[in-house]
């Protein structure tokens, strides 16, 4: 069941290092990716921010905003704030329709947060569970609207222990009794969370673990940084029968309050998950906040898709590489900033 999750193959970046100059230029021209020059990034806040911004382009500007936040104005409150149970905002502010994205992957998110259903020959795996107010309308009703039966939920993978991703897990556990999987230290985080319903402790993800259900395998990587044991996931998907590989970077946002050891871990995790994902051929990005990758625009485009049109979710390996380069460079910018504050 468990495999060692070390970087499996030679990464694109490693290949570029040993290429003759002519091939390198040719390759860069084909890829047209400014992030490929990231090796010469000056180790400064401005240098890393510029590299992250270049890698983000327009399509990943939401990711850049979350991982490279500007320093908060003096006197602004830090941290996640708030006490007591989290209130539910009006439905019209957050409700989004569910959508089929691949043959075996379904969007069950709100306008802001994302949950996913992976369908297999032996049941359903849910990735992330939204705030509790959205669990019933988006996940349970969403599955039914898509013609799927929530009773077939066998596993729920929670990317990390923040309320916007774990809060509806308890409801799913109580109603459908799936196995609930989280990273080891994120179980502790959830059990300290007083604002959201607390699920029963269940399965602990191991780094590189293969979660196999029927004909489908997800690979889970422990990628600390946003939280101590964030899970990032690779999901094998099919588009009209054609195989693709989706990558989800499980925890994204950084802030001036992120401690230095967590920033150091985040950088290593981003580098490693980039090598793993690109090395494994990931050409699809899925996220858990719609802003990171313009998910709502992609889902709107899917609705207009005609037979033979490309799937807007198939973004290619270079975009997967750019995505995780944004994370890495933002982590480095935040680290230089944090060290300067010491
Ligand atoms: Zn979070």
User: Degrees (nearest 5) of the Cα angle 184, 186, 187?
Assistant: 70
86 vs 139 pLDDT, higher one? 139
Ligand 1 centroid distance, CA of 195 (Å): 14
Ligand 1 centroid distance, CA of 251 (Å): 6
Ligand 1 centroid distance, CA of 211 (Å): 22
33 vs 141 pLDDT, higher one? 141
Q: Using alpha carbons, list the distances in angstroms from residue 159 to 12, 228, 268, 275.
A: 26, 11, 18, 19
**pLDDT of 321 over the 90 cut:** yes
pTM for the whole structure: 0.87
Ligand 1 centroid distance, CA of 326 (Å): 17
Convert the pLDDT of each residue in 182-219 to its tens digit: 999 999 999 999 999 999 999 999 999 999 999 999 99
Quick check: is 3 in a domain?
no
pLDDT number for residue 286: 98
Ligand 1 centroid distance, CA of 254 (Å): 9
DSSP for 130-198 reads --HHHIIIIIIHHHHHTT--GGGEEEEE-SSSSHHHHTTHHHHHHHH--EEEE-HHHHHHHHH-SSSPP
Domain ranges, residue 101: 12-69+95-341
Quick check: is 4 in a domain?
no
Convert the pLDDT of each residue in 115-134 to its tens digit: 999 999 999 999 999 999 99
pLDDT number for residue 82: 62
**pLDDT of 10 over the 50 cut:** no
Quick check: is 5 in a domain?
no
Ligand 1 centroid distance, CA of 250 (Å): 8
Quick check: is 79 in a domain?
no
275 vs 23 pLDDT, higher one? 275
**pLDDT of 20 over the 50 cut:** no
- Average confidence score pLDDT of the chain: 89
Quick check: is 89 in a domain?
no
285 vs 22 pLDDT, higher one? 285
Q: What is the domain-level CATH number for residue 276? A: 3.60.15.10
Ligand 1 centroid distance, CA of 160 (Å): 6
The number of folded domains in the chain is 1
Q: Which residues contact 325 (CB under 8 A, 6 or more apart)?
A: 35, 38, 51, 52, 55, 270, 274
pLDDT number for residue 16: 34
pLDDT number for residue 85: 78
Ligand 1 centroid distance, CA of 315 (Å): 24
* Percent of the chain residues topping a pLDDT of 90: 82
Euclidean distance between CA atoms 17 and 156, whole angstroms: 40
pLDDT number for residue 64: 97
pLDDT class of 84 with cuts at 50, 70, 90: confident
Quick check: is 36 in a domain?
yes
Quick check: is 40 in a domain?
yes
Quick check: is 186 in a domain?
yes
Convert the pLDDT of each residue in 26-39 to its tens digit: 333 344 444 455 46
């Amino acid at each position: 069941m468990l495999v060692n999750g070390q970087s499996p193959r030679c990464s694109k970046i490693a290949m570029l290092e040993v290429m003759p100059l002519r091939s390198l230029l040719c390759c860069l021209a084909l890829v047209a990716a400014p992030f490929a020059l990231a090796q010469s990034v000056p180790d400064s806040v401005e240098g890393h921010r510029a590299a992250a911004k270049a890698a983000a382009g327009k399509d990943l500007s939401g990711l850049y905003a979350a991982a490279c936040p500007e320093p908060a104005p003096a006197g602004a409150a830090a941290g996640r704030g708030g006490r007591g149970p989290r209130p539910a905002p009006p439905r019209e502010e957050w409700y989004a329709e569910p959508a089929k994205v691949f043959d075996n992957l379904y969007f069950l998110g709100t306008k802001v947060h994302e949950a996913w259903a992976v369908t297999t020959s032996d049941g359903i795996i849910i990735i992330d569970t939204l705030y509790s107010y959205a669990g019933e309308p988006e996940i349970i009703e969403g599955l039914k609207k898509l013609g799927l039966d929530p009773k077939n939920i066998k596993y729920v993978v929670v990317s990390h222990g923040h309320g916007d991703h774990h809060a509806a897990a308890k409801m799913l556990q109580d109603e459908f009794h799936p196995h609930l999987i989280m990273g080891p230290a994120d179980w502790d985080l959830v059990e300290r969370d007083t604002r959201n319903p607390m699920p029963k402790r269940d399965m602990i993800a191991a780094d590189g673990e293969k979660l196999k259900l029927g004909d489908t395998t997800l690979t889970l990587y422990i990628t600390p940084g946003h939280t101590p044991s964030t899970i990032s996931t690779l999901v094998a998907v099919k588009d009209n029968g054609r195989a693709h590989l989706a990558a989800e970077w499980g925890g994204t946002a950084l802030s001036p309050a992120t401690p230095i050891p967590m920033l150091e871990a985040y950088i290593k995790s981003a580098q490693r998950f980039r090598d793993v994902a690109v090395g494994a051929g990931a050409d699809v990005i899925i996220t858990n906040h719609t802003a990171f990758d313009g998910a709502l625009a992609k889902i709107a485009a899917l609705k207009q898709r005609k037979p033979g049109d490309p799937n807007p979710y198939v973004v290619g390996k270079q975009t997967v590489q750019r995505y995780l380069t944004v994370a890495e460079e933002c982590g480095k910018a935040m680290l230089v900033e944090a060290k300067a504050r010491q």
